[in-house]
Amino acid sequence: SQQPSKDNPTKRGGEARRHVSSESPLPAAETSINVVVVVVPVASPNDLRILCFYYESLDKLSGPEVSIVDNADSEKFECKNSTKCSERIHRTSLLDSAFELLDVTFFNQTEYEPAQDMRKKFSYPSVTGVRRPESEEDIAFMSVLELGQLIKTKQISSEELTGIFLRRLKRYNPVLEAVITYTEELAYKQAKEADDLLAKEYTWVTRGPLHGIPYGLKDIIAVPHYKTTWGSRTFKDQVLNIEAWVYKRLKSAGAVLVAKLVSGSLAYDDIWFGGRTRNPWNIEEYSTGSSAGPAACTSAGMVPFAIGSETAGSITFPAARCGITALRPTFGTVGRTGVMSISESLDKLGPFCRGAADCTVVLDAIRGQDPNDLSSRNTSLDDPFKVDIAKLTVGYLDDAEMERASVQGCQYGSLRTELHCRIRSRYLEFHDGRGYVGSLDEWQRSRQDDDYEAQDQWPVELRRARMIPAVDYVQNEYGYSIFVIRVIVQQAQRARGKLIREVKESFNVDAFVGNATDWERVCMGNLVGMPVIVVPTGFKNISNTRRRTTITTGIYALPEHDHIALALAMAYQSVTDHHKQRPPIDDLGPNDSILDPPTVTIPP
């Protein structure tokens, strides 16, 4: 708890008060007890610091921006490890409704325990009768579950499988420009450990189907001793010797990291300091971003799966362009410690895979509460493999590009689902950023922005920005002082809460099918934390060529109902084979054959 200052007497207890909602029920007005808040840090259960705050009348408590106590009166009500406030504390413990405002419990009611992983593992389907193909090409396009079965039955070792994917990465990357760093030494080390463990009985059962499976990480995810460049020339030599939470999860599942894959510069678009990532289905197209590398590499069979991120479209757009299955999970499902942050309230991590079943397996490995990410939690997901789709009703939007598949038992309603809600605040992206804009001003005036990619996209705007201080720009453009942004952010968060409730109330189906790249839907889905899985549904021929472009759609569900979207995607893919198609990676164009070995320089 921080000491209040003359400029901000409300700062004490701010961490607790940030949970207060202006629409939460208040204690009864006739309550005579004037103790409003007791802040009890529980860093150690035997060392409690008690702070008593009092207020003249509870009916004045209307939201987080209201002052709790005057600075002049705060000190005389403070007590530390003494009995001075014991009577008032006892009376405060009776005010359960007041504590509901803060989403906390009274300090003596529960025993302090560290956060525990309460996840219930999914029940994976039995994969039997899998035989090792003769060609490495066929092996590369097998599903995660099939590859896991090959490893489990010792038809292939993890080291051999790792070698196959490393060779493919090095062979095709010169054209696709999708890899930033090969983690070859680490990969073979982890693969050998996986093989050694597999020699022990029951290892596959205890470690799961990802044991020994190679994969890639978007290069905004930190891995010790390897570069984490964020796709930017400025940070191309940056090494963050921390283990990202999602990397820890996959390592504990026995998965093998083979490469750090392209992120668009600073997690934006598909342009990075080494080039621009291309679409394996049509190299005249770019993969879009910013999870460009994970999408392109998974599509080309260069990795069985990869982890990407999304703030606004960075999973859905490249997955749709590259024709693969990818899941943007409910906000907070996957911990983000060790990952470059764009927006704490929007950033999400999710898997890129060849099929929905693989997405389910990977999600099961990486979901759960990250103790260092306050937004993460143990979401109460049901098992997608056990969802009874006969009980589901699915709506579809007019823009859904889908093939009418006869999925047994699933009710497809011939209806149009409308989400009756609007975003009423135009300031949702603003932060309390006085320090940020000051740094930006100095950064631009010193011409450090010349080091960043995509400078030619807004040349006039970027050069004009050097002439106008950032603080002046915000004040002149939006007509208010930078110092009131905090209030606007609070209003925006309340508007966001209302938007989430409106979306939930408008959901009259279990899920709906719609365009996964519609910008308005992308923004709304990310604002409310809604899960969506991108599913390939077909192809369109490109005129005057023999190449095709992929068609995809999205299956949307309510927050914390990822299992519904996953179950429907698995049902659809059980009767279609669009997700099993392979891009013509070995014949990229009339005059663009791939040499083996490649002659193009590999990125550092």
Active site residues: 218, 290, 314
Residue 462: what residue type? L
Q: What angle do CA 500, 560, 570 make, to 5 degrees?
A: 125
Give the tokens for residue 440: 């930006």
At residue 511, the 3 state secondary structure works out as strand
Number of residues that this document lists for the chain: 604
Element (H, E) at 549: strand 548-557
The first and second tokens of residue 200, run together, are 């022990």
Write out the two tokens for 526.
């990310």
Query: Between β-strands 511-514 and 393-396, what pairing exists: parallel, antiparallel or unpaired?
Result: parallel
SS3 583: coil
Q: Are 518 and 469 in contact (CB under 8 A)?
A: no
- Cis peptide before 446, with omega less than 30 degrees from 0? no
φ and ψ of 379, to 5 deg: -70, 145
Helices (H) and strands (E) counted in the chain, each on its own, are: 19, 17
What interhelical angle do 158-176 and 184-198 show, nearest 10? Answer: 150
Closest C-alpha among 261, 320, 323 to residue 292: 261
End-to-end CA distance of the chain: give it in Å, rounded. Answer: 46
The two tokens of residue 195 are 């093989």
Distance CA 2, CA 569 (A): 48
Whether the CB-CB separation of 490 and 65 falls below 8 Å is answered with yes
Backbone angles phi and psi of 261, in degrees to 5: -100, 160
Q: Which two tokens stand for residue 399?
A: 């823009």
Ramachandran area for residue 544 (φ above 0: left; ψ -120 to 50: alpha; else beta): left
Task: Give the Cα separation of 310 and 531 in Å (integer).
Answer: 11
Contacts of 590 (CB under 8 A, 6+ apart): none
| 507 within 8 A of 392, measured Cβ to Cβ | no
Q: ω into residue 597 within 30 of 0, thus cis? A: yes
* Tokens, residue 215: 């994969």
Strand 532-541 and strand 548-557: the pairing is antiparallel
Angle (nearest 5°) at CA 296 between 174 and 306: 115
Q: Are 151 and 207 in contact (CB under 8 A)?
A: no
In sequence order, what are the residues at sequence separation of 6 or more whose Cβ sits closer than 8 angstroms to the Cβ of residue 43?
A: none
Can you tell me whether residue 454 is helix, strand or coil?
A: coil
60 φ, ψ (degrees, to nearest 5):
-85, -10
497 within 8 A of 18, measured Cβ to Cβ: no
